[in-house]
């Protein structure tokens, strides 16, 4: 007896979709239409054959079986006999079979009946597509890896050698393809933690899968995988993050945790349907016992003095601004860590909670339950807090409550998405708040970016060019008069790929940079700035007054870190760009 084979596509099949084919759709959309037609025919033919054989039929593509059912049949029999246990009712176990007359399948059924007397096995005919899908998810449910579906555990020994292992596997594609998906994913996470990556990207392309790490803010290609690994890899990630395996046409978000050595990591997962399959991005959040000090984050000198003053105030609003990934949350956590103590009640409302803070009450928004920043903030005010962290001010309601809290005896910390410190003023106005209401609540506004630290091992000193000297001199000469002008050093540090190309630095893995540091500008409000805001001053006018009052710009703070040998001119220009000369 032959297995069900779908009839060939007819002209009528394609004619029914001619309008779609003629609408200028991309090739991939046409392929999907044709594929859908083929699969429908395949399922219809399989169902017809099942009726003829007097067997039950099911379409199990995207079906999510229970783990304890899958493991009834060992992997060897699943692979050799093309059978899959997917459901159990009492002692009856239902077996998916795509070709009941195949000798290997018949032998597998005989073996199963002989070895497993406790169960009654019922064959169910499925299509080849269903069997292919079920086979692809077996490793995810296999007993060998089921113990760690809630939490991965990556040993320190593996962690120390994983970066080299990835490179070795790239040179040995056969070994790479042979890896079980669980081991492959463990290796990816192990390498990511070893290289201190903040994000892991799994991106399907037309003929392969690209795995990339974001290291020190920059994406790096790490690994290329065969396309047929995608479904198993994504399903494994979904299982860890407790997402639905059968949802493939819409985005899903989840989270899970794993251990690497002595460090626990929370992982935020985003799954997105794309042209060539589902794409996954995972943010790795190490759960630190103690946060990095503000000084190590890059807050020094006059900027540190402003922050120290602001956090000693009993009430008011301290804002941190910058784009996504600029380190705003890390800075605010470091501030909370510094001011936390037994005499203070600190509560946060976040989306999501990125780091667990000892001695601090943390709450996470849940829009599905109508628990938003605004409703959460209202509830927090009934909890008798001294200090409140609002993860982000993104709507009028939240902004109003945060400002009101800062005016009624609470120190409030929050973030905004603006390009510079002065931009926070019009941003709050855009949210519908009147300057007369919010300006006197603001203690200070931080703007920040993250730049890469030059690698201490492979960096070289060099004499800056005339163009670089001119750029440096301009920034230093424009420092506010309150700041002593530092001497411009004769030698600066940089990464030179030409001199480093013959070797691969073990510290930075050949990238030339290791770690990140913040560059900051901090605007402290004063009478002049308040009057200007109430007179509807522009961003440029507000920034000019802030500089006159002693504010160091992002570019200037960056240049002083270049002088200290912490980073490079190229990094500052990449991240901070050029200052607005009209603001001086």
Query: Does residue 383 lie in a domain region?
Result: yes
Same domain, 339 and 260: no
pLDDT for 144:
40
Please count the structural domains in the chain.
3
- CB count in 10 Å sphere of residue 268: 17
Give the pLDDT score at 156: 40
Q: Which residues pair with 362 in a beta bridge?
A: 348
Examine the domain organization and report whether 408 and 554 are in the same domain. Answer: yes
CA atoms within 13 Å, Cβ hemisphere of 61: 12
The sheet that has 442-454: what strands, in order across it?
361-364, 346-350, 387-390, 411-416, 316-321, 442-454, 513-524
pLDDT above 70: percentage of residues in the chain: 83
Looking at the fold, whether 253 and 390 belong to one and the same domain comes out as: no
Nearest CA-CA partner of 415 in 359, 367, 348:
348
pLDDT tens across 114-152, in order?
767 677 889 999 998 888 888 877 766 654 433 343 445
What is the DSSP track for 198-223? EEEEEEE-SSEEEEEEEETTEEEEEE
| pLDDT score recorded for residue 365 | 94
CA distances in angstroms from 361 to 62, 327, 386, listed in the order given:
40, 22, 12
* Domain range enclosing 280: 149-286
Lowest-confidence region among 24-28, 161-165, 259-263, 314-318:
161-165
Give whole-number Cα distances, 575 to 419, 423, 532, 567, 571, in Å.
11, 18, 29, 12, 6
Same domain, 282 and 315: no
Token look-up 């120390």 returns 160
Tell me the CATH number at 436: 3.40.50.300
Is the residue at 490 inside a domain?
yes
- 364 and 474: one domain? yes
With H, G, I as helix, E, B as strand and everything else as coil, classify residue 165.
helix
Q: Quote the CA–CA distance of 141 and 67 in Å, as a whole number.
A: 5
Between CA 134 and CA 85 the distance in angstroms is 9
- Rounded Cα gap, residues 542 and 533, in angstroms: 7
How much is the pLDDT for 315?
Answer: 98
Residue 375 has pLDDT above 80, yes or no: yes
The total number of residues written for the chain in this structure: 584
Residue matched to tokens 């602001």: 310
Q: For 268-279, what is each residue's pLDDT tens digit?
A: 999 999 999 999
**Which residue in 560, 372, 69 sits closest to 83, CA to CA?**
69
Mean pLDDT on 536-559: 95
Can you tell me the distance from the alpha carbon of 278 to that of 249, in angstroms, rounded to the nearest whole number? 8
Same structural domain for residues 118 and 31? yes
| Among 145, 165, 197, residue at a domain's last position | 145
173 and 112 within one domain = no
The bridge status of strand 442-454 relative to strand 513-524 is: antiparallel
């Amino acid at each position: 007896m032959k297995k069900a084979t779908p009839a060939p596509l007819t002209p009528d099949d394609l004619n029914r979709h001619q309008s779609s084919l003629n609408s200028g759709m991309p090739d991939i959309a046409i392929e999907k239409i044709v594929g859908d037609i083929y699969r429908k025919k395949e399922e219809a033919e399989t169902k017809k054959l099942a009726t003829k054989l007097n067997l039950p039929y099911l379409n199990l593509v995207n079906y999510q079986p229970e783990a304890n059912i899958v493991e009834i049949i060992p992997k060897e029999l699943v692979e050799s006999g093309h059978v899959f246990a997917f459901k159990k009712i009492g002692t009856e176990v239902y077996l998916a079979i795509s070709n009941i007359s195949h000798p290997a399948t018949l032998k597998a059924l005989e073996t199963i009946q002989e070895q497993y007397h406790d169960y009654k096995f019922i064959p169910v005919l499925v299509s080849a597509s269903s069997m292919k899908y079920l086979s692809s998810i077996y490793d995810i449910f296999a007993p060998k890896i089921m113990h760690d579906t809630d939490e991965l555990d990556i040993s320190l020994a593996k962690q120390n050698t994983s970066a080299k292992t990835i490179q070795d596997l790239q040179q040995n594609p056969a070994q790479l393809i042979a890896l079980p998906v669980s081991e492959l994913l463990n290796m990816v996470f192990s390498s990511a933690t070893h290289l201190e990556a903040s994000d892991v990207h799994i991106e399907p392309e037309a003929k392969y899968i690209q795995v990339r790490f974001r290291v020190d803010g920059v994406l790096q290609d790490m690994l290329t995988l065969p396309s047929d690994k995608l479904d198993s890899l994504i399903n494994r990630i979904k299982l860890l993050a407790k997402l639905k395996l059968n949802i493939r046409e819409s985005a899903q978000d989840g989270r899970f945790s794993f251990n690497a050595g002595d460090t626990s990591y929370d992982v935020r997962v985003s799954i997105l349907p794309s042209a060539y399959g589902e794409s996954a991005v995972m943010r790795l959040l190490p759960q630190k016992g103690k946060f990095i000090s503000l000084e190590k984050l890059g807050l020094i000198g006059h900027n540190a003095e402003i922050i120290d003053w602001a956090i000693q105030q009993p009430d008011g609003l301290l804002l941190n601004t910058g784009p996504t990934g600029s380190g705003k949350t890390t800075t605010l956590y470091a501030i909370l860590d510094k001011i936390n103590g037994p005499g203070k009640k600190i509560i946060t409302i976040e989306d999501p909670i990125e780091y667990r803070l000892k001695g601090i009450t943390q709450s996470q928004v849940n829009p599905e339950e109508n628990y938003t920043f605004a409703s959460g903030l209202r509830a927090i005010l009934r909890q008798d807090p001294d200090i409140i962290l609002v993860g982000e001010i993104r709507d009028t309601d939240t902004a109003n409550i945060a400002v009101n809290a800062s005016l009624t005896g609470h120190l409030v910390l929050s973030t905004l998405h603006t390009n510079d410190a002065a931009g926070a003023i019009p941003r709050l106005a855009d949210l519908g708040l009147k300057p007369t209401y919010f300006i006197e609540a603001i203690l200070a506004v931080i703007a920040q970016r993250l730049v890469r630290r030059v690698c201490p091992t492979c960096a070289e000193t060099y004499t800056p060019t005339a163009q670089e000297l001119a750029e440096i001199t301009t920034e230093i000469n424009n420092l506010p008069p309150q700041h002593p002008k530092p001497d411009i050093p004769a030698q600066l540090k940089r990464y030179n790929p030409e001199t480093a190309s013959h070797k691969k630095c073990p510290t930075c893995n050949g990238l030339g940079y290791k770690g990140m540091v913040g560059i900051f500008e901090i605007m402290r409000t004063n009478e002049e700035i308040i009057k200007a805001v109430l007179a509807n001053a522009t961003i440029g006018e507000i920034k000019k007054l802030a500089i006159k009052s002693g504010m160091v710009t992002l570019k200037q703070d960056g240049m002083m870190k270049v002088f200290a040998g912490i980073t490079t001119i190229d990094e500052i220009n990449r991240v901070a760009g050029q200052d607005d000369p009209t603001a001086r």
